[in-house]
Structure 1
């Protein structure tokens, strides 16, 4: 009888403990819902930072509050804090049991990725959204835009890669041409030196011939002029005289005014 009584007391204690725990859980859930409503009011007033604070407090009361995660993601998105918004949407997509809720979460992930110009993750997110809600035309349109931007990005990367490749080839070609020019300059220099040596040799021969020629030509006697030299001297004196006369005439004519006839 005593044993039965102890068992009964133990069961009563467990039951009361469970009831108290359940009551605490319900209390926290009510507080979380109240904070969520506060956050929604602030969100509608476009006070997104304050709304984020309220949603975080709601999640502090109930970490598994799906609406809290989703709404926090929206508030962060409106703050343009796309990087932190994505994990909130991902958590919603993971825990939501409703397909439409999953589709909306993935759609918003795609939008946040688009804002960050991360086109491949955006395409993947939109596809996941359509898997959960194939009739969503808005998601289908966004997917088409994201795919187009992704194709352009891949094409630009490919073009840049080809440009770098062509640049490397051009640099190698310029290097080869430079080496060829260097070899050519060296060859030209050698040829030039060779020609110079040949020229110097010929120059010496020519100089020796001129020396021999000078030795053979008769030298004019000192103090006497040849007929040719006398003729050149007379012509030079006549030219100087003509120049002097011309200068004199120019001085006389200088300052002479030309009278203009007037038409009365």
Structure 2
């Protein structure tokens, strides 16, 4: 079976720490108005916690999903500042980013913690988007596959039944917010490496997204690669027209 035929394209917008109620409303209204141009693509918006209620309300009935940018591994307890999967599920959240490079770097999140967050999300019926990727120094040292294998190991250890329900996003750290982008072939090579590990676990249908300065101008060439199933979009997701053009590529 050609698994590419059953992997619908997925484009997720990560607002990072951006947003204000008036600009959010304009952006979300624009997305809802133009969503028809991306009829062959699943679209999701991941916003900061304070704006999830606004995002949920504005996107209701649009066909565009929404999710959080992080999630706690804990179900409840004395964990000030944490937000649990059950809390997010209470409000209809269906997606959560876990292990974004900025969380790994600025908050010292380990590979094991990322896997535990993914498991917590799955336990609440939320789809985790597990982010992996190497730094520039690691890439230049030829360690890309070694780093990706290490980051994925505790996630894959959750087992095929769990892994089949998540999404993986490959985001080379050196290409995030830098204007640099892996060439389509560079990205495809890493996606193929990830796909091989998924195939070994018998879950080749899991979608793998590329993240790293994705724009409307380079989306088509990236999506033409056989193992790239969509994108995790940063800055370009803050402009409705640009994000829609990426989704429609």
Give the TM-score range, shorter chain: under 0.3
The structure with the greater share of residues assigned to helix is: 1
The TM-score normalised by the length of structure 2 is 0.24
Greater RCO structure (CA 8 Å; 6+ sep): 2
The structure with the greater share of residues assigned to strand is: 2
The TM-score normalised by the length of structure 1 is 0.23
